[in-house]
Structures are given as C-alpha cells and as structure tokens.
Amino acid sequence: MMNFLSDLSLSTRIVSSLILGILVGLFVGESALSIQWIGEVWIRLMQMTVLPYVVVSLISGVGSLNKTLAKSLAVRGGLLLLLFWFVAAVTIFAMPLAFPQWQDASFYSSTIIHNVKPFNPIEIYVPNNPFNAMANSIVPAVVLFCIAVGVALIGHKDKALVVDNFKVFTDVLAKVMGFMVQLTPIGVFSIVAVSAGTMTLEQLTHLEVYFVIYIAASLFLTFIVLPLLIAMLTPFKYIDIISFSRSALLTGFISQNVFIILPMLIENSKEIFKHYQLDSEQNEHVVDVIIPVTFNFPNAGRLLALLFIPFAAWMSGSELKLSQYPEFLSTGIFSLFAKAQIALPFLLDLFHIPQDLFNFYIPSSIINGKFDTMVSVMNLFAFSLIITAGLVGQIHFNYKRIIKNTLIICASLFVMVLLTRFLLFSIVDTSYTKDNLVMNMSMPENTPYVKSIVYDKRRIDIEQPYTPEVLNNNLLEQIKQRGVLRVGYRPDRVPLSYLNNDHELVGLDIELIRYLANDLGVKLAFYPMQWDKKAELLNQREVDLLTGIAYDTPNLVNMELSLPYIELNLKAPK
C-alpha cells in the first residue's frame, strides 16, 4: 500500500486528499473539527521556512549581480516590474466590482468596536529592527532590509564568501520546504474535511464567487494583458508570443510549479529571438540571468492571491473601502515577497478581517493555483523578452500601437468585469436568508431537558384568583420548595430570548436558564413581561428573575443584578 502511494505523483495525492476530505467532512459533519489541529500544524510547518528562504535568496540573488547588470536591472527592470505590478493592481482593484451585492447581518463584529489604527507606511516598510520584522512577519520591512544588504554586497571584493554560503543555505531550506510540501496531502485532507463539515450552503456559494473572479482575472492577464504588453514594446507579434509560450503555459498549468518551468522559459525566450533573427550571444546571456533573478520577485500570478482579501472582506459583510485600497495594494505587493501563507494572514489582521476565513484559501488554492501558475509563467516570459529586447536595443515605441493595445486592454477589462458580474448575478442567489436561519434555530442537543411551560400571558392574567407571593425567607429556598422557577422574558429579544418558527422559546438566555433550573432540580415557567414595568413586576414577585437585563445605573438602583455573563457592544446609527 505504501509503495502504491509513493508511486503516485504529488498532484495526484493532493487531489485525492481533496476529494477524500470533502467526503469525510460531509459524512461526519462538525465532528471533523477534532482533526483541525493537523491542518494548523501543517500551515505552521509551511510558514516556518518561508521568511528565512526569502532573506537568504534575496540577499544572494541581488548580491550575485555585477554592477553593470545590476544597474540595468535596477532602471529597466525596476520600471518594468512597476508596470507589471500596476497592471496586476488595477485588475485586483477592478475585479471586486463584479461581486454580487448582498445583505449580511451579525450579532457581533470586532470591526464595530475596533479603533482602526491609521496606516503608517514607515512602520510597514522601514525596519528599525529587522529581527522584530521577521518575528512579526512584516514582510515589506524584511524585503527592504534584504535588498539593502544585497546591494551592499554587489561591490564587495569578498562577496563570493557570503553569496556561495547563502546559496548553500538556500538549497538546504529548499530541501526542507520540499519535505514540508510532501506533507501537503495530509494538511489538505484536514483543512478540507473541516471546511466541508462546517461550511454552510451560503459559504459554499460565496466560494463559488471567488473561483469565478479568480479564474476570470487569470485568463485576462495571461492571454490579453501580458501578451499585448510584449507586442506593444517589442517586435514580436501576439500570435507568436502565444505560440512560443504555449508549451510552458500548459506544463505550468498541469504541474502547478513555476520553478520547474524556468529552463523551458529560458529556451522559449531564446527561440523566439532566433525566430525573428535577433539571436546573439549577449541575448542568450541576458536571458540566462534575467529569468532566475526575476523569479524571486512578486509577479502578476503571485499577486493574484491578493484577490482573497477583498473577497474575504466581502464574505464577512464589510467590504474594503475605496480609501483602503492604496494601503492594501502597496502593503500586499511587498508582503508577497513571501508566500501567501505568510502574507494573507498578515493582511487579514491588518484590515481586521476574521482570521478563520484563511481556511477557505487553502482548499481553493488547489484549483486556483493552476491558473495563477499560468499567469506567473507568462509574466516571466514577458519580463524576459522585454528586458532582453531593451538591453540589446530592440524596444520599439510605436505610439499608435501603444494606444491601440492600451485601448484593447481597457475595453477587455471593462467587458470582463461586466460579463463576470452578469454571470455571478445569474448563478448566485443573493437573497437575504439569515433571518430564516435565526428563526429556525432550536436549543442545542446537549442542553439539559427541563420540564417547562411557556405562557403568552402574565401570571396575573393566568392565575385566578391571583395572590402575590411574599418573600418570607431566602428566595432560592422558596424556589426549591415551590419546585418551579418563574422567569420573565421578552418574546422578541433576539438572540437572547425569542420565539422561533415552531413557536418554541429559544435563545442564549433561555439556554442558560435551563442549565440553572437543571442544577436546582426545579421546573420552569416562562411569563412575558411588560418591559417598561419590569423592575416593578420583579419586586412584586410576579416572577423570580428576568433575562437580558442591561448592566446599567437605573437597573442597578431598582433591581438586584447577577454578575455580568455576556458583553455586548452597541453601534450608534449613522
């Protein structure tokens, strides 16, 4: 059996774990939470080597360049990198416009009471303590530190000592990461089983939205934006760009691994120059260097992971504001020098989005990863062609072609967002259903059974003749002697006490009262209260206690209150 599993490819094992996790989760339901710790351990193991790898690979990669190539890359490569980042950022900004509009509600959200700290780019990008930045996964600050050290190494006479040792360390970390990757089927099984066992139909529908948005953005960047940028700045035609990149795109999509495509991209880049009779020894040397160096920088494919943040914000019912996008995109781009497993939890925390939504990213990345790999392959191909063409004087600024291609890209983005929005509105049910969810709730199965009667009238209107009870000894002893705990309630105080669709009295307070009555060994009688006279009726002993009383000054003066058992936060209307 073990030999059979070891003979399977990693991708086959991951897909099998995905399917098995779904089946187990659907079968056992919320019981799958018992294996949640396995997924958490796997995520931590995957995160363990990411920042050390970023540090040593960036320092050695930048430090190994010679001054001439480093200067050319810093100017031309820097500008081109910014252009690609800008295009990816515009796409990430535009795609959330296709999200369907839907209503949401919750009893509690930390974003209501959290004092949002103003964005301070100095704290994010400028490290006063690089080790503190590493410990807190502040990736942009770590990246700046690594680039500074790498640049300082370029002109050092003994840089080979550091660069060679760092490359050895990079290989060691890569082996450790390779071992962790082999554990991916186990981690995926745990995370998917928990998600399938606890995910609601509404959450599954929302995940469908994420898939559609992500795939649309990937195809747009791979087959429209990046090829047209190459055709805009170089002598290569669109049809040839697609033709020469086709094998690398297909291999990347199937393998979901950009690293193993690097040799193929180098050869494809050389072949298209040869096809246009622009090949030379200098071209080949530049291609050999440029692709491995730029592999370490965030590309458009890697940046697509940022789409998860506006999706998570939308899913949690608090969409990102327009004013938050500059902070989100600038911080997110530099955060993705590390892997998404580091960057996304950091960004979720930065924008006060529930961290548990990250569990939806892991299973979705198994499918989406194939598409962002295609984007990464095309991005590296485009970077290689444009930079190499620029270094050998083959950049052509044909303003008519630039304007034409720019208009095609803008029009395509507009049409894609419009069509995606139309598709999502057609297939996704956006009607509000949480009111039905609340009204269909019942008492948890493990709530102790206590014989109880729920009245829809006050005691004074039920008991004839009515005789108010006089407290002549300890109230607790009187309740036990009577054998009934009389409780005053409000039938519309959601979620503390209310009548559900089956006309059963449910809610947090009702559940707590059942536990109290079970401990006292008495029955329960619930009476509706005239709430503006609650203190008077309680003090006249019409009931023994009331539920859902605010811990404020008037109530403290007029009634004897228990210790607080829940904290609620009120949000004033705008």
Weakest mean pLDDT among 112-121, 180-189, 298-307? 112-121
Say if CB 344 and CB 354 are below 8 A apart. Answer: no
Phi then psi dihedrals of residue 486, to 5 deg: -95, 125
Weakest mean pLDDT among 34-38, 145-149, 251-255? 251-255
Q: What is the 3-state secondary structure (H, E, C) of 146-213?
A: HHHHHHHHHCCCCHHHHHHHHHHHHHHHHHHHHHHHHCHHHHHHHHHHHHHHHCCHHHHHHHHHHHHH
In terms of phi and psi (left: phi > 0; alpha: psi -120 to 50; beta: otherwise), the region of 507 is left
How far, in whole angstroms, is CA 302 from its chain's centroid? 14
Distance CA 549, CA 405 (A): 65
Say if CB 300 and CB 84 are below 8 A apart. Answer: yes
What is the fold of 2-98+121-431? Proton glutamate symport protein (1.10.3860)
Identify which of 545, 550, 544, 547 has the alpha carbon closest to the alpha carbon of residue 567.
550
Which residue in this structure is represented by tokens 């039938």? 491
Say if CB 384 and CB 290 are below 8 A apart. Answer: yes
The better pLDDT of the pair 396, 304 is held by 304
In terms of average pLDDT, the best of 62-76, 98-112, 273-287, 376-390 is 376-390
- The per-residue pLDDT for 126 is 79
Both tokens assigned to 561? 């209150």
**Dihedral sign computed on CA atoms, order 472, 477, 480, 484:** positive
- The per-residue pLDDT for 416 is 94
Percent of the chain with pLDDT over 70: 86
What pLDDT band is residue 466 in, cutting at 50, 70 and 90?
low
Answer whether residue 132 shows pLDDT above 60: yes
pLDDT in tens, 170-227: 788 878 877 877 887 888 888 888 877 876 666 667 778 888 999 999 999 999 999 9
126's enclosing H/E stretch is none
- The per-residue pLDDT for 87 is 93
Q: How far, CA to CA in Å, does 260 sit from each of 248, 252, 254, 303, 472?
A: 10, 8, 12, 20, 85
Which SS3 state, helix, strand or coil, does residue 519 take? helix
Answer whether residue 149 shows pLDDT above 50: yes
Distance CA 488, CA 541 (A): 11
Strands (E) across 351-510 are located at: 452-454, 484-489, 492-493, 497-499, 505-506
Average pLDDT, the chain: 81
The residues, ordered by sequence, that sit 6+ positions from 69 with a Cβ below 8 Å of its Cβ are 289
The better pLDDT of the pair 238, 541 is held by 238
What pLDDT band is residue 103 in, cutting at 50, 70 and 90?
low
Percent of the chain with pLDDT over 90: 14
Give the number of residues written for the chain.
Answer: 574
Weakest mean pLDDT among 76-80, 111-115, 153-157, 506-510? 111-115
In terms of average pLDDT, the best of 201-205, 391-395, 435-439, 444-448 is 444-448
What pLDDT band is residue 308 in, cutting at 50, 70 and 90?
very high
pLDDT in tens, 392-412: 777 777 888 889 999 999 999
In terms of average pLDDT, the best of 82-86, 97-101, 111-115, 116-120 is 82-86
Domain locations along the chain:
2-98+121-431, 437-558
Distance CA 391, CA 43 (A): 42
Q: Provide mean pLDDT across the span 423-435.
A: 74
Q: Provide mean pLDDT across the span 286-290.
A: 69
Say which CATH architecture domain 437-558 belongs to: 3-Layer(aba) Sandwich (3.40)
Same fold across 2-98+121-431 and 437-558: no
With 0-12 CB in 10 A as exposed, 13-18 as middle and 19+ as buried, what is 431? exposed
Answer whether residue 423 shows pLDDT above 70: yes
Angle ∠(152,158,161) on CA atoms, nearest 5: 100
- The per-residue pLDDT for 224 is 94
- The per-residue pLDDT for 102 is 67
